[in-house]
Structure 1
Amino acid sequence: MNHTFLTFLFLFFFFLSFLHHPTYASNLYKIKQLNSDFLSQSTSSHDSHTPQSPTKYFEVTKPIELPKTKPCSYHILHHEFAHTYGKPPVFVNYTSPSHCSSTKFSKIVLEWKATCEGRQFDRIFGIWLDGVELLRSCTAEPRATGIVWSVEKDITRYHSLLLNHQKNQTLAVFLRNVVDQTYTGVYHVDITIHFYPFHVNTHETKKLNPLAFRTDSHADLILPISRNLQLNDGLWFNIQNSTDVALKEFTIPQNAYRAVLEVYVSFHEKDEFWYSNPPNEYLAANNQTNSPGNGPFREVLVTLDDKLVGSVWPFTVIYTGGVNPLLWRPITGIGSFDLPSYDIEITPFLGTILDGKNHLFGFKVTNALNVWYIDANLHLWLDAKSVRTEGVLLNHIDKPLVESIVSEFNGLNGTFLTSAKKSILSSGWVRSSFGNITTSFVQDFTYYSSMLFSKNGAKQAVNQTILFIDAVRVKLPSSRLDLIDDSSRKFSLYLDSDQLAQDNDNFIVVSNVTLGFDVNKAKSEDSGFSKSYLKNVLDGKGKMVVENNLVVSGVGETQQDYRYESKEGCYFRNIGSSNYTILYDKVKYSCNKRSHSPF
C-alpha cells in the first residue's frame, strides 16, 4: 500500500468525521443552543390573515388565599426590556402607599405581567426592594403571534419593608436580554403590588406565644444579604466554581430575638443541568473536557463568621428553554415562574452576633461550575420592650458530608451511582422581655442519583431523589409544650434524552421528564396544631427534528397533577397540554373524604 493511497484514506476519514454529528457527554446543554424558527412560529391551523390572541402561559400552583376586601393597588413599573445586556437594573423610586384608605393589611401580593412576541431565549430575572429580593423568575419563550404571562406571589412576609414610611426606597428589576436580527423578542413588563386590608369583621385573638413564632408573624426588619445596587448585573452573587466564596458584611440591632435567613438560589450556563453532569474521569477518558462535569451532586453552603449554619440542596427547576422548550408551552415547569427560596433558622446563633459589630455571611456551592446566582434576606424580629437582648449558642454539630460515587464505563457508555448524606444541628437561647426562649434547628439531607449513558453516549437517563428535612423547636418559658415547625420534602427527577437517526447534521431528539416534589408540614398554631400535604408532579414527553442545527418540527406534551390537602381546605388540579393547546383542565377545591389523606 503506497504512501499516496494512505494519505487519501486518512483525508477521507478525517473529513468524514466532520460530517458525522458529534456526541456530547450531556445532550441537554447542546439542545439548549439550537436555533429554531419553528419554536417561535405559530402552529395554529387558522388562516394566517386571521388575528390571533397572544397565548397565555402559566405555572400550575395553588391560588393565593385572599381576604374578602378590595385591594389597594400600586402600579410601580412599566418598562420594555429590549437590549439590556451589559446594562444596570431598571431602578424605580418606591414609597409606602399613601393613597390607600387603610393602613393595615392582611395580605400583600406582587403581580408581574409581561407580553412578548418573536423569538427569544429564556431569561432569568429578579426584583429587589432596597436590596431585598422579592421575586426570582424565568421569562417565557415567545412565539410569533405573541404570548402573555403573569406571576402572582404572596409577599406578605416582607410587610415591614413594603410599609416602611420612614424612608424612600429603590425597587430594582434586572432582566438581561438581547435583541438583534435573530432574537427579536422584547419583554413588555408591568409590576403592580396589591395591598389587601384586614376584613372589617376580623377580631384580634389572644396569642399564647411570642410574636415571632406566631403563624401570621412578619419580621420587624429585613436586611439585604446581596450585592450593592450600582451594578451592570443582578444583585445576586455570582458563584463561578467550587472554591468561590461570596461574602456579605452586616450588622443587626442589639434587641433582636429571632432571625431567619431566606436564601434564593438559581443555576445557569455550565451548571444549568448540573443533575446531568457526569464525573470528570469519564469526560477525560473520552476527551470530552469541554463538556460540563464535576458529577451530578450540588449543595449550597451558608456560613456565619466561617461557621456552617445551614445548607440548601436545591429543587431541580427546569427553565422554559430546558430539555425541550415545547414541553413548557403553555404549562411552564414547576418553580420556573416563581423560583423557591429556602429558610435557615439563625436564632440559635443570635448570641454570637448581638454585639453591635460587623459579621459575615458566606455562600459557596459544592462542585459548582459557572454560574450560580445566590443572595439572601435576613428576617429579624425585634423586642420593642428591650434595648438589648442576649443569647448563647448551646450546641452546634456539623456532620461532614458523606458522599459515595460508583462509576463503571466503557468508552461513552457507562453507569454512575452517586449518594450523599449530611446533617446540621444547632441550638441556643435568647433572653428578651418574653423571657428565656430556647430554639433548636435541625437539617437532614439524603441524596441519590443514578445516571446511564448508552448508544455511544447518544442516550442519557438520570434518576435523582433529594430528601430534605428541617425542623425548628422552640421552648417557651410560659408553656410546657414546645412549639414546632417541621417540614419534610422529597424532590424527584427522572429525565432521559435520546438522539435518533443521526445523519450528518440531521437527527431527532426524544425527551421524557418527570419532575415533582412532596412536602409534608407540621406546625404549632395559636389554636392548636396544623398539618398540610402537597404533591406536585409534572410529566412531559417531546420530540424535536433537527436539520443543520435548526429545529424544523416537534411536539411537546405535558401532564401535571397538583394536590394540596390540609385541615383548612384542599386544592386539586389535573391538567394536560400538547403544543400550546390545553387538552383538559380539572380543578377541585373540596376535600375528598375517601382519599388517603392523613387529615
Structure 2
Amino acid sequence: MAPSAAASSTLLVLLALLLSPAVAAAAAPQSRHRLGASLQVASLNASGPPTTFFEVDRPIRPPRGSAGPCSTLLLSATFGATYGRPPVTASYAPPACLGAGGTLALAVLEWAADCRGRQFDRIFGVWLSGAELLRSCTAEPRPNGILWSVSRDVTRYAALLVEPGEVAVYLGNLIDKTYTGVYHANLTLHLYFHAEPQQQQQSDLIVPISRSLPLNDGQWFAIQNSTDVQSKKLAIPSNTYRAVLEVFVSFHSDDEFWYTNPPNDYIQANNLSNVPGNGAFREVVVRVDGEVVGAVWPFTVIYTGGVNPLLWRPITGIGSFNLPTYDIDITPFLGKLLDGKEHDFGFGVTNALDVWYIDANLHLWLDHKSEKTTGSLLSYDASGLDLNVNSDFTGLDGQFVTSASRHVSATGWVKSSFGEVTTTFYQRFSYENSNVFRKNGTVQIVNQTIDAKSGIFAKDASAVLLSEEFHEVFPLYLYTGTSDQAGDEYSLDSLVKFGINEKKTSGGKLGFLYSSLRNAQSAQGTMRVKKNLVVGGLGKTHQVYKYVGTDGCYFRDVSSKNYTVLFDRSDDSCSKGAYRGASAKLNDQPARRKLLANKL
C-alpha cells in the first residue's frame, strides 16, 4: 500500500525467502498479509473489455426538488512515475453557478480513473487549499484494463468551494519493467441547488491542519513510531462559537495490518527481526496544546491488494475507495482557544510502527453579529488508556488477547449573540482482539471488535439545541494459512469477514433524525504465489449493505467470483422482506455464524 509500503512488503517477502525453513514458516503469518500490496496475477491476456471495480455504498442522491447538476472538471492527470514528486495541482475558481443565487443543496466530488497493466495498490489524497477532501486507494489493474470511480459528498466544505484556491492530488506511483500500470484520472465537482433559500448548516470557515505546499509527498503528516507527534500551530477567529475537527487516517507499511501484529516478546523469543510487532492495538490521539481532546479507533480498512488481492475484484473492501473520516467536537475547549494566540493541534498513534498518514480539517462556525465570543471549560476527563495484553505462547504457536478502553469527555460554555450555550462532547471506546498462531506459525486467526460511542449535547437556558449520539461497532474475523511451501513458491488460504454496524440519533432544533447501517462483507479465496506473483487462485466475495433512516432506505446484496459479478440486487423502497431474505442468507454461512458469535 503506497510506494513506501510496497517496498516494505517486497522486502519482507524477500527476507522470508532467505530465512531458514523454520524461521521462514514463522515469518509467513506476518509477511503474507503484506504480500497483498505487491502481488498481481501473472497473466498476459490483454484481450477483452476493461473490468469495472466498485465499492458498495449508499448512492448519493440530490435532495428532492433541487436543481442540477452544475458540473466542473477540476483536474485531469496521469500518474506514472510520481512517487517522491510534487502533487499534481490545478488552480481552483468557484464555478459560476455558485454565485448565481440559490442555496447549495449538495456537492459531490467524483474521481474517475482507469489503468492497464500490472501495478500495486496506491494510496492517494485530494486537497483543496490545504484541506483534504478525499482519501482513497487505487484499484489494482489487469492487462485488459480496469475502470473505477469514487464519489464523496463534500457539501460540508461549502465554505471552501466558494473561495478561489488550489486543488492538489498526490498519488505516489512507481513504474518499472514489472509494474507498468499508469493511472489516468479525472476529478469533477457536481453541484446541486435548492430552489428556495434555506438555512445553511455547514461551517463558515475550514482551517486545514496539514502540511503546506510545496513538497514531494501528500499534504498529510507521516507518523513513523509511537513517540512521533506531528502538529501544526494556528489561531482561530475570535468570534468562533462552534468547532469540530474532522480527522483523516490511513495506515501503511509495517502497520498496514496492525491488528495482526504480535507483541514484541513473541518476536524477540522467536528471533523474528523482520516481523512487525508492538501488538495488535492502535489508536490515534488528538491533542490541543498537549491535552487530549479526543481519539480515533480506526475502522480496519483493507486495501485492494490486502491479504489476497483476488478477494477484491471487482468488489473492493469496505472503505478502501472512500476511507472514513472521524469527527471530534472541540467546542467545550473554545474558552481556551479564543485568546487570539496560536495553539498547537497535534496527532500521535499509540504503539505505531512506520507509517500512518494523518491530517485534519478544523470546521469553525462564526458569529457574524459580534466580533468576539467568550467561553470557559467547565469539566474535562481524559483519564487515559486502559490497555491489557495477555500472552500465552510456546515457540511459534500461541494466543495473544488484547483488551482496551478509553473515555474522553468535556463540557464548556460559549457566549455569543445566540446566547450562552453549554456543550458536552464525549467518547467511549472498548476493544477486544484475539490473535492466534497455529501449526508452527503458518496459520493465523484474528477475532477483533472495536466499539465506539460518542455524543454531543448543546443547550441554552431554555432548550436543548442539539442532542446527537453515534454508536459504531467494527467486527473483524481474519484467517490466513500458508502451505506447500517450496523455495519461493507457496499456497495461501484466506477468509475475511468484517463490517460496520452503526446507529445515529439526533434531535433538537432540526427535529428528530435516525439512521441505522449494517454493512457486512465476507470474502474467501486461495492463491498460489511464486516469486511475488500470483500464478493461480480463486477469490469470491459476498456483501450485504442495509441502511434505514429518516432520510430514506437503501439495500444491496451482491456477490462476485474471479472478476465476475454473480448477482447484484438492490432496493431503496424500505421493503423489510427484501432485507430479511438476504440477511438470513448471509447469516446462514457457518463461518458467518462464528463471526456473529463474536459480536457482529
- Common fold, TM-score beyond 0.5? yes
1:189 & 1:416 partners in 2: Cα distance? 43
How big is the alpha-carbon RMSD for the aligned residues of Structure 1 and Structure 2? 1.9
Q: Which moved more, 1:504-513 or 1:552-561?
A: 504-513
Q: Which moved more, 1:310-319 or 1:521-530?
A: 521-530
Match of 2:218 among 213, 229, 234: 234
The letter of the residue matching 2:303 is Y
Q: Which residue of 2 aligns with 1:7?
A: none
Q: 1:26 to 1:252 in 2, by over 3 A?
A: farther
The letter of the residue matching 1:84 is T
SS of residue in 2 equivalent to 1:348: helix
Match of 1:494 among 477, 498, 502: 477
SS of residue in 1 equivalent to 2:226: coil
1:120 counterpart = 2:119: yes
1:395 & 1:95 partners in 2: Cα distance? 44
The letter of the residue matching 2:260 is S
Match of 2:29 among 27, 30, 33: 27
2:74 & 2:254 partners in 1: Cα distance? 35
Q: 1:29 to 1:502 in 2, by over 3 A?
A: closer
Equivalence map 1:224-303=2 (5 Å): 224-303=208-287
Q: Which residue of 2 aligns with 1:181?
A: 177
Equivalence map 1:127-166=2 (5 Å): 127-164=126-163
- Per the TM alignment, residue 290 of structure 1 is displaced from its structure 2 partner at its CA by 1.8
The letter of the residue matching 2:188 is T
2:88 & 2:576 partners in 1: Cα distance? 50
Residues 405 and 419, structure 1, Cα contact 8 Å, conserved in 2 = yes
2:530 & 2:239 partners in 1: Cα distance? 65
2:356 & 2:197 partners in 1: Cα distance? 45
2:267 & 2:207 partners in 1: Cα distance? 43
- Could you give the per-residue CA deviations for residues 12-39 of structure 1, whole angstroms, max 9, x where no partner exists? xxx9985778124463533534765625
2:21 & 2:419 partners in 1: Cα distance? 75
2:453 & 2:386 partners in 1: Cα distance? 17
Match of 1:38 among 41, 49, 74: 41
- Per the TM alignment, residue 56 of structure 1 is displaced from its structure 2 partner at its CA by 0.5
Q: 1:422 to 1:17 in 2, by over 3 A?
A: closer
Q: 1:501 to 1:195 in 2, by over 3 A?
A: same
- Could you give the per-residue CA deviations for residues 135-159 of structure 1, whole angstroms, max 9, x where no partner exists? 0000000000000000010000000
Q: Which residue of 2 aligns with 1:546?
A: 529
1:226 & 1:245 partners in 2: Cα distance? 13
Q: Which residue of 1 aligns with 2:346?
A: 362
Q: Which residue of 1 aligns with 2:106?
A: 107
Q: 1:393 to 1:288 in 2, by over 3 A?
A: same
Residues 559 and 575, structure 1, Cα contact 8 Å, conserved in 2 = yes
The letter of the residue matching 1:180 is D
Residues 26 and 277, structure 1, Cα contact 8 Å, conserved in 2 = no
Q: Which residue of 2 aligns with 1:323?
A: 307
1:21 & 1:106 partners in 2: Cα distance? 58
1:158 & 1:17 partners in 2: Cα distance? 51
SS of residue in 1 equivalent to 2:96: coil
- Per the TM alignment, residue 242 of structure 1 is displaced from its structure 2 partner at its CA by 0.2
The letter of the residue matching 2:106 is K
Match of 2:81 among 83, 86, 89: 83
SS of residue in 2 equivalent to 1:91: strand
Match of 2:411 among 414, 421, 427: 427
State, as a whole percentage, how many aligned pairs show the same letter.
52
Query: Is the helix fraction higher in 1 or 2?
Result: 2
- Per the TM alignment, residue 84 of structure 1 is displaced from its structure 2 partner at its CA by 0.5
Q: Which residue of 2 aligns with 1:72?
A: 70
Q: 1:456 to 1:557 in 2, by over 3 A?
A: same
The letter of the residue matching 1:306 is G
2:30 & 2:148 partners in 1: Cα distance? 25
1:54 counterpart = 2:79: no
SS of residue in 2 equivalent to 1:71: strand
2:180 & 2:43 partners in 1: Cα distance? 10
The letter of the residue matching 2:298 is P
Q: 1:593 to 1:452 in 2, by over 3 A?
A: closer
Residues 36 and 552, structure 1, Cα contact 8 Å, conserved in 2 = no
Moved over 4 A (4+): 15-21, 34-37, 39-42, 593-596
1:302 & 1:184 partners in 2: Cα distance? 39
2:184 & 2:283 partners in 1: Cα distance? 35
1:520 counterpart = 2:508: no
- Could you give the per-residue CA deviations for residues 42-69 of structure 1, whole angstroms, max 9, x where no partner exists? 5xxxxx7xx5221100100000121342
The letter of the residue matching 1:38 is V
Residues 423 and 458, structure 2, Cα contact 8 Å, conserved in 1 = yes
1:399 counterpart = 2:383: yes
Q: 1:31 to 1:491 in 2, by over 3 A?
A: closer
Residues 21 and 503, structure 1, Cα contact 8 Å, conserved in 2 = no
Q: Which residue of 1 aligns with 2:589?
A: none
Residues 466 and 509, structure 2, Cα contact 8 Å, conserved in 1 = no
Match of 1:583 among 563, 566, 569: 566
Q: 1:178 to 1:24 in 2, by over 3 A?
A: farther
Residues 42 and 533, structure 2, Cα contact 8 Å, conserved in 1 = no
- Per the TM alignment, residue 70 of structure 1 is displaced from its structure 2 partner at its CA by 2.2
1:345 counterpart = 2:329: yes
1:39 & 1:380 partners in 2: Cα distance? 50
Q: Which residue of 2 aligns with 1:371?
A: 355
Q: 1:482 to 1:525 in 2, by over 3 A?
A: closer
Residues 102 and 197, structure 1, Cα contact 8 Å, conserved in 2 = no
Q: Which residue of 2 aligns with 1:4?
A: none
5+ residue gaps in structure 2? 1-16, 581-600
Residues 492 and 516, structure 1, Cα contact 8 Å, conserved in 2 = yes
Residues 39 and 326, structure 1, Cα contact 8 Å, conserved in 2 = no
- Per the TM alignment, residue 193 of structure 1 is displaced from its structure 2 partner at its CA by 0.3
1:280 & 1:381 partners in 2: Cα distance? 45
Residues 263 and 278, structure 2, Cα contact 8 Å, conserved in 1 = yes
- Could you give the per-residue CA deviations for residues 534-566 of structure 1, whole angstroms, max 9, x where no partner exists? 010100001001234432101110000000011
Please give the TM-score of this superposition, normalised by the length of structure 1.
0.90
Q: Which residue of 1 aligns with 2:91?
A: 93
Residues 19 and 504, structure 1, Cα contact 8 Å, conserved in 2 = no
- Per the TM alignment, residue 525 of structure 1 is displaced from its structure 2 partner at its CA by 5.3
Q: 1:406 to 1:55 in 2, by over 3 A?
A: same
- Per the TM alignment, residue 485 of structure 1 is displaced from its structure 2 partner at its CA by 1.1
Q: Which residue of 2 aligns with 1:6?
A: none
SS of residue in 2 equivalent to 1:400: coil
Residues 40 and 120, structure 2, Cα contact 8 Å, conserved in 1 = no
Residues 226 and 375, structure 1, Cα contact 8 Å, conserved in 2 = yes
5+ residue gaps in structure 1? 1-14, 43-47, 205-210
1:427 & 1:31 partners in 2: Cα distance? 43
1:71 & 1:41 partners in 2: Cα distance? 41
Q: Which residue of 2 aligns with 1:220?
A: 204
Q: 1:575 to 1:76 in 2, by over 3 A?
A: same
Equivalence map 1:559-578=2 (5 Å): 559-578=542-561
1:491 & 1:231 partners in 2: Cα distance? 35
1:363 & 1:337 partners in 2: Cα distance? 24
Bigger radius of gyration: 1
Residues 108 and 194, structure 1, Cα contact 8 Å, conserved in 2 = yes
Residues 415 and 421, structure 2, Cα contact 8 Å, conserved in 1 = yes
2:224 & 2:261 partners in 1: Cα distance? 16
The letter of the residue matching 2:575 is N
Residues 112 and 191, structure 1, Cα contact 8 Å, conserved in 2 = yes
Q: Which moved more, 1:109-118 or 1:65-74?
A: 65-74
The letter of the residue matching 2:146 is I
Q: Which residue of 2 aligns with 1:462?
A: 446
Residues 387 and 405, structure 2, Cα contact 8 Å, conserved in 1 = yes
- Per the TM alignment, residue 524 of structure 1 is displaced from its structure 2 partner at its CA by 1.2
Residues 28 and 323, structure 1, Cα contact 8 Å, conserved in 2 = no
